[in-house]
Amino acid sequence: MNFQHFAQRGVRMNGSAITKLCVLLAAGVSLAAGRASASNSDDKKEFVIRDVRIFDGTRVITQGQVWVQNGRIKAVATDVKAPASVRRIDGAGKTLLPGLIDAHTHAYGTALKEALPLGVTTELDMFADHSFAAQIKKQQADGKDLDLADLRSAGTLVTAPKGHGTEYGLVIPTITSPGETQAFVDARLAEGSDYIKIVYDDGKAYGLNFPTLTRETMAAVITAAHKRGVLAVVHIGTLQGARDAIESGADGLAHLFVDAAPDAEFAALVAKHHAFVVPTLSVLATITGAPSGKVLAGDARVTSYMTPDSIRNLGSSFPRKSGQFSFPQETVRRLKAQHVPILAGTDAPNPGTAHGASMHGELVLLVGAGLTPAEALAAATSVPARVFHLDDRGQIAPGKRADLLLVNGDPTADITATRSIVAVWKAGVELDRESYRAALEKDKQAAAKSLAPAPAGSESGLISDFDDAETPRARFGSGWVISTDSFRGGQSTAQMKVIAGGAEGSKGALAIDGVIVQNSIAWAGAMFFPGSAPMTPVNLSSRKSITFWARGDGKSYRVMVYSQSSGFIPKMQSFTAGSEWKKITLPFSDFETDGHDVMGIFFGAWSEPGPFSLAIDSLKLE
């Protein structure tokens, strides 16, 4: 275990013995990787991706070739001069990226298996069961687990008795005073921790109350970690906590804060201390009530490769909201201006996140906080590799591991293109994503076919009459939300509100107003989720059609039904909303479903630019 441990940090340590171990291990890994792929035909072990846009971790090469041999990148050039016998993969219209590195996760269960199909080839765990991490890392050092994301782990985190980290049911050692810190850190390194994660947070910013380390103890842990040549990363919850950690010599912050805007000196302080920051905007967005996971949970490019549990988790949120999302956004802007290294990390699987999937959301959030798409991609590749001394990855360059992600389109122009994954390679071995997706789909179908009963509350068929509340309510499911093209980079907007005066003289109706801004795919409107969580499929097959009343500005509108079995791609029908209330009946069969796995029903505007105004009422299943 020590062997493996030191080898992984060899570059940071002095001493030739350790360097030698590192070299031996590297050789071992590459031989093992060769064996693992021996079952593939020879042409799969060596290939050239040609005519492809390359984001090499830092820069864009608009058109080039990448030659992969024995799990490593052999050459990157406009013409790599590989023998004609080497298999060519056409990269026209596509972009090749280094595999993504998620710099903040909690890896257990199927986390690593779920991450890889979505392009995350390395996870930096920030607290997990050390024996699980040790087992995975051993298998990976033996060249196994090529269908899992690679793992580095903090193992057991460093926290106070009853502090944050002790509430998850895993019994862990804790510390109380500076005098214990070296022995405590050494015990973590003996368990295999690749770096030290410290909790310095009393939870108050989130309405909680945890004991936490004193500033002196935190500082002593950092010193103890540095004495052993490993990084010390600090979880903080407030601006003051972040300042304390940086001033105490933390190498990096494992989150940003939502309790306050950054003060004028904060970013300069981080820069002065040469620290890095993993903002974890995905989880902060959820905590502050601005979740991005729900949006991702509606994107079939992502959800087709996710388990139902993870899709549910992606759509979930924390029981209470705290702080403001604009604070970490502003902090990221200022950190960027001070050239502080910013790393993409999701904190999966916290509520509102999922392994793999959330990296694509984190990239969008980083761009929203002022990074260019290329800077966001660097934050997910070359920057974490450099900061965490993962010298064999994070770049497309000769000698690096062939951990690669091929996507359609150009994510350096449109960051959401990272979701249009064509292929993922780990150590030069292509993951069979299609088999993974098909197996998931089969499970999903089987689960749907076992036909859960119709959701409780749906017996009458009525979904919403908008007669008894000021906010839109539904008789079952998880309610109404606004859905727009914003997560696909669009700028369309919508609002909804219950208005007086419904169809057939009823009390109220739902008004949906907004503006469609022209884009390749533009939509805006309101979505009803029939399941207990957004995009959870429910069996509505005892009913044959969707009926509702509509009125509006005379424009054409869409109903979109999301079914799990149609690969999460909605099926649509259009209707016209004129100045008089009109009843509309749309059979499920028009949406190419029998209704056994409905995840969402959308009402709104589609494609035609300009303002729109729609009202619906008496939504029922008949």
- Min separation Cβ 153 and Zn ion, Å: 12
Query: Based on CB atoms, which residue is closest to Zn ion, 130 or 400?
Result: 130
* Minimum CB–partner distance for residue 390 and Zn ion (Å): 19
Report which of 574, 567, 580, 564 is spatially closest to residue 603, judged by C-alpha positions: 574
Cβ of 218: how many Cβ atoms within 10 Å?
Answer: 27
- Which CB sits closer to Zn ion, 126 or 239? 126
Nearer to Zn ion, 146 or 199 (CB): 199
CA 289/CA 322 separation, integer angstroms: 8
Please state the φ and ψ torsions of residue 362, each to the nearest 5 degrees.
Answer: -60, -40
Alpha-carbon 100 to chain mean position: 11
Strand (E) or helix (H) holding 34: helix 16-36
Smallest gap from residue 106 Cβ to Zn ion (A): 6
How does DSSP classify residue 348? Answer: B
DSSP code string of 493-505: EEEEEEEE--GGG
Looking at beta carbons only, is 293 or 531 nearer to Zn ion?
Answer: 293
Sites of contact with Zn ion (CB under 5 A): 126, 347
Question: Quick one: 149 or 405, whose CB is closer to Zn ion?
Answer: 149
Lookup result for tokens 């441990």: 5
Smallest separation (angstroms) from Zn ion to the CB of 109 = 15
Hey, CA dihedral for 414, 416, 422, 426, is it positive or negative? Answer: positive
What is the identity of the amino acid at 221?
V
Instruction: Write the CB contacts of 279 (distance below 8 Å, at least 6 apart in sequence).
Output: 255, 256, 328, 331, 332, 342, 345, 366, 369
User: 80 vs 157, which CB is nearer to Zn ion?
Assistant: 157
What phi and psi, each to the nearest 5 degrees, are found at residue 522?
-125, 130
Q: How far is the CB of 130 from Zn ion (least distance, A)?
A: 16
Which among 166, 153, 170, 164 is positioned nearest to 233, based on CA atoms? 153
Cβ(426)–Cβ(122) under 8 Å? Answer: no
Is 599:529 a contact under the CB 8 Å cutoff? yes
Q: Which C-beta is closer to Zn ion: that of 244 or that of 347?
A: 347
Sort strands 120-125 and 100-105 into parallel, antiparallel or unpaired. Answer: parallel
Alpha carbon distances (Å) from 439 to 304, 307, 421, 426, 429: 11, 10, 18, 20, 20
CB nearer to Zn ion: give 254 or 599.
Answer: 254
278 vs 538 by CB, closer to Zn ion: 278
Q: Which is nearer to Zn ion, 347 or 597 (CB)?
A: 347
- Determine the residue with CB nearest Zn ion: 347
| Nearest residue (CB) to Zn ion, 347 versus 403 | 347
610-621 and 462-464 beta bridge pairing: antiparallel
Cα–Cα distance list, 185 to 182, 188, 193, 346 (Å)? 5, 5, 9, 25
We find the least distance from the C-beta atom of residue 126 to Zn ion, in angstroms, to be: 5
Nearest approach, Cβ of residue 125 and Zn ion (Å): 9
Q: Helices 130-141 & 16-36, crossing angle to 10 degrees?
A: 70
For the CB of residue 385, give the shortest distance to Zn ion in the complex, in Å: 20
CB of 254 to Zn ion, least distance (A): 6
Q: From CA 103, how far away is CA 101, in angstroms rounded?
A: 6
**CB of 46 or CB of 347, closer to Zn ion:** 347
Nearest-approach distance from CB 381 to Zn ion, in angstroms = 21
What is 175-239 written as a DSSP string? Answer: --SGGGHHHHHHHHHHHT-SSEEEEE--SGGGT-------HHHHHHHHHHHHHTT--EEEEE-SH
Three-class SS state of 621: strand
Closest CA to 54 of 426, 404, 384, 421: 404
At its nearest, how many Å lie between Zn ion and the CB of residue 347? 4
Q: Which CB, 150 or 347, lies closer to Zn ion?
A: 347
Q: How far is the CB of 316 from Zn ion (least distance, A)?
A: 16
To Zn ion, the closest distance from the beta carbon of 170 in angstroms equals 13
**Rounded-to-integer distance, Cα 22 and Cα 240, Å:** 39
What is the residue whose two structure tokens read 């890095």? Answer: 276
